[in-house]
A and B are shown apart, each in its own frame.
Chain A
Amino acid sequence: MFSYCTDPDTLGQLAWLSCYLTTGVHLSFYLAFLKVLGLLAVTAPVALAFGFLGAMAARSHILPLSWLGRGYIAIVRGVPDIAFFLFFVIALDQLFEYVRHRIKCPDWTGPVRQGNDFIVCPAAKLPLGTSPEWVHETYGFFLAVVTFAIVFGAFAANVLYGGMRAVPRAQLETAEAYGMSHRQTFWRVLVPQMWVYALPGLSNTWMVLIKATPLLFLLGIDDIVYWARSLGGTKTAQFTDYPHGDWRMWYFLFLLVFYLGFTRVSEVVLERLMKRLTHGQATTGGEAQRKAA
């Protein structure tokens, strides 16, 4: 990257390191951090939306819908998350391909599952065999986001469900006494008040979500774990201008520090948010703030 990097063998230690850390592959490594942040930025709202729908379904008066919501929460939370990640990536892919197969090739007669193969017509393949590399990568990332959203949606649903039930009954009764309908009570009274009860659980879910991002590696995405493994491995002078021994330990130490910093910053931010949300609420926290002011 720098002009003095043309002949790394002649450089001093610090200059060598500065060249080493700015090689093309390292820039891909740094880009992978953006991928992680991007995943978080996309997944968090989607998972929250899934969670909201799940919680609404779970407290629904329609029995089958309520079972669906509760079942979603219970099953996803009862099984190791990583099993879900491995499961959904294949299952979603096959589901999409199967749906497309039924729509695009209605006169295809062979069964989709033949022994150990899953065969759909070429037009139904996702992504199409002819599409460029970036489409494949984006599709993989999309599957990862949906998988994360499904799993963490269940966590969020559980928290939001608890939050909705924690809103004091008197608040809802007051709303009803003012002649609000069910829907109005839900949107104008329940939803604005539930956040303060749900936030501790949601911030916990957020922390767990951050700590789950390295699992992207298992979904076949070139994420930070992938790069740390491949960059850290022993490099001989034959293949690179920057030969070094097995540095994977140091790369993973760096990732460890990155995650520590990230969770710490989130903790501080969430604490502030909690303080703001508690303001003016009918809780002990809100009462303490009122007295202090």
Chain B
Amino acid sequence: MTCFETFQAYALRSIGIGERLLPRSDFTLCDHFVLIGSGMIWNIYFALMALASGFFLATALAVAKGAANPWARKPAEWFIFVFRGSPLFIQFFFAYFFFLGLKGQYAFFDAFTAAWLGALIVLFLNTSAYSGEIFYGALRSIPKGDVEAADAYGMSGWPRFRRIVWPTMLRLAWPAYTNEAIFLFHATTLVFFSAFPAWQQRGDALYYANYFADKTYNPFIPYPILAMYFILFTLVIVGGFGLVNRHLNRHLPAERRAKIKYRPKLIR
């Protein structure tokens, strides 16, 4: 097989399009690159969907945690505590078996035991908790003057939040939120190594890298390729979030702008 044929056969293998059988022997470098790259589709899918949906819950959680009313504050505090205090790996296992139990009783939960939905829900809740804590911290460090100025203009309630508090919160939280996005992206590799099964060998990048390493007993080729893909996409995230950061800081003089520092903690 030429490399182009390999690409045609396996580029979309991870979502079930193309050749059904994975290569079994005589793995070429091209096989490695194409299949592991194909797996990246899942990592990107999980990261994008979880971040996009988690953003809103995170904002709600941050506001709730900062609220004076204990009926709003306590649940938010507990939610954040539970998801930040326990390993994501265990959360995946628990959620999977929880959905499995539900599936036994109600057919509706059929899809929840599949990775595309079940794992996505866990990642969504998890990133909401971590980002919620980041947003909460930012919410508390909004300059007093900004809010007073909003009051002086007669703004209150929703307009004040929408136009003053929320943009400032985002601006302050953005560097930390960028790191959270990077963690989450890296954490997506856990999905197929926890309980969620890779149906018909449709797995993520690490799943295929591990497949090659198991078959060839040579970790020195697939894992560096995987690392390369991840570093590449991490740079894309940093770049994309950097653009947003510039937009959020556009009204500030250059030296007061918050810089994004790449500081991931990586495991959750």
Q: Which residues of A contact B (CB under 8 A)?
A: 75, 77-83, 86-87, 90-91, 94, 113, 116-118, 155, 204-205, 208, 210-215, 217-218, 225, 228-229, 232, 246, 248-249, 252-253, 255-256, 259-260, 263-264
Contact = CB atoms under 8 A, between A and B. Distances in A.
Given A211-B86, A212-B267, A213-B87, A246 B186 contact: no
Contacts of B87: 210-214, 259
A249 B92 CA distance: 11
Contacts of A113: 218
A263 B264 contact: no
A214 B268 CA distance: 11
Interface stretch (B52-60, B153-161, B227-235): B227-235
Given A80-B189, A263-B86, A155 B215 contact: no
A210 B189 CA distance: 19
Contacts of B218: 113, 116, 118
B85 A86 contact: no
Contacts of B176: none
Interface in B67-112: 81-82, 85-91, 93-94, 97-98, 100-101, 104
A116 B216 contact: yes
A256 B91 contact: yes
A260 B217 contact: no
Contacts of B226: 79-80, 83
Nearest to B91: A256
Contacts of A255: 90, 93-94
Contacts of B104: 246
A79 to B, nearest CB: 4
A144 to B, nearest CB: 15
Given A78-B231, A260-B85, A91 B266 contact: no
A80 B193 contact: no
Nearest to A209: B267
Given A86-B213, A213-B87, A259-B87, A155 B94 contact: no
- B-side interface size class: 35 or more
Contacts of A246: 97, 100-101, 104
Contacts of A249: 94, 97-98, 100-101
A101 B104 CA distance: 53
Contacts of A90: 213, 217, 219
A232 to B, nearest CB: 7
Given A256-B94, A259-B90, A264-B85, A80 B206 contact: yes
A155 B183 CA distance: 14
B18 to A, nearest CB: 24
B217 A116 contact: yes
A78 to B, nearest CB: 5
A135 B200 CA distance: 37
A208 B265 CA distance: 7
A256 B234 CA distance: 30
B223 interface: yes
